[in-house]
Amino acid sequence: MSTHEVFTDRLQAGVLLLPTMVVSLLFLYYPTVRAIGLSFYQASLARGDVFVGLENYRRLAGSTEYLRSVLLSVLFATCVVVGVMAVALCVSFLIHEIEVGKGLYLVAVIWPYALPPAVAGLVFLFIAHPNIGIFTSYIEALGIDVNWFSNGPQAFVVVLVAAVWKQIGYNVIFMTAALGNVPESLTETAELDGVSRTQRLLRVYVPIISPTLVFLVIMNTIYGFFGTFAMVDLMTKGGPAGATNILIYDLYRTAFQFYEFGFASAKSVVLFVAVGLLMYGQFRLSDRYAYYGG
């Protein structure tokens, strides 16, 4: 493979990179450094900043409420990843198999992803509202009393379903593209050998598109931890009784409802480190199980 420099002038390359570097410094690196520094202070609007060392982290380690929020977030993110991947893989496979109207089916599946998170949360709120939801009467006809405003497990499930519904379109885009790159000869060979459609999906297609699946697992994990704030805020506000108080919403409440900025910064640092370690583990696993050809 030939290699050549697109920009031979380093000054020109630096000028072109400058906007990206400035934006990254202002909105990514500076807030990160600021949050780490603030986590060592007891910071509030009224009393100013007081250096307290590791006190915020000791407080976190001894908080049963925070530990509950951590476990809740891990469970929520795991369910989001599994739910999104399973549904999106099935939908992508069905779209890949049909011959007519593929574009229409893709649009129908992808449109929830095009909605802003707040709008998606409002849409799902009216879909599943205990009193005026358009699907509520059908669910209650099955003998289920829909009242997730006061029932914690129901609230968790409703927010989880909304989060999965919002993210399916993003996964279908990548999975459909990956399935489109599978050699047609493999499909024809599998059909001649009498391989069922389910076996063809699991034993032929999934190993070939495994790099795409690994990428999506990582993106969905980040989404499960960081990307569902708007839905929790609009649908349950962390309740009832903390049943949907995942880490990102708990962090928001600490900072902007209780105005404990130092404590909230310590929570953000812990969340950042935990998700970073999780990403590192997933990258190591992807090297072992993903098939990159060759």
Domain of residue 200 covers 61-287
Within a domain: 35: no
Within a domain: 192: yes
Within a domain: 294: no
Within a domain: 293: no
Residue 292 has pLDDT above 70, yes or no: no
Within a domain: 98: yes
Q: Which two tokens stand for residue 184?
A: 């047609």
Residue 291 has pLDDT above 70, yes or no: no
Within a domain: 101: yes
The one-character DSSP state at 182 is S
User: What does the pLDDT look like over 51-71, one tens digit per residue?
Assistant: 888 999 999 989 899 999 999
Cβ 164 vs Cβ 80: under 8 Å: yes
Q: Residue 293: its pLDDT value, please? A: 61
What mean pLDDT do residues 120-125 have? 86
What is each CA distance from 231 to 82, 121, 213, in whole angstroms?
19, 5, 25
User: What does the pLDDT look like over 148-199, one tens digit per residue?
Assistant: 888 889 999 999 999 999 999 999 999 999 999 888 888 888 888 888 888 9
Within a domain: 129: yes
Cβ 166 vs Cβ 112: under 8 Å: yes
Rounded Cα distance between 151 and 149, Å, is 6
Radius of gyration of the chain (CA): 23
Of the candidates 165, 163, 176, which has an alpha carbon nearest to the alpha carbon of residue 105? Answer: 176
Share of the chain above pLDDT 90, in %: 36
225-234 burial: b if 16+ Cβ within 10 Å, else e: bbbbbbbbbb
**Is the four-CA dihedral 240, 77, 230, 258 of positive or negative sign?**
positive
Instruction: Decide which of 239 and 91 is more confident.
Output: 91
CATH of residue 211's domain is: 1.10.3720.10
Within a domain: 17: no
Q: How many domains is the chain partitioned into structurally?
A: 1
How far the first Cα of the chain sits from its last, in Å, is: 16
pTM recorded for the entire structure: 0.85
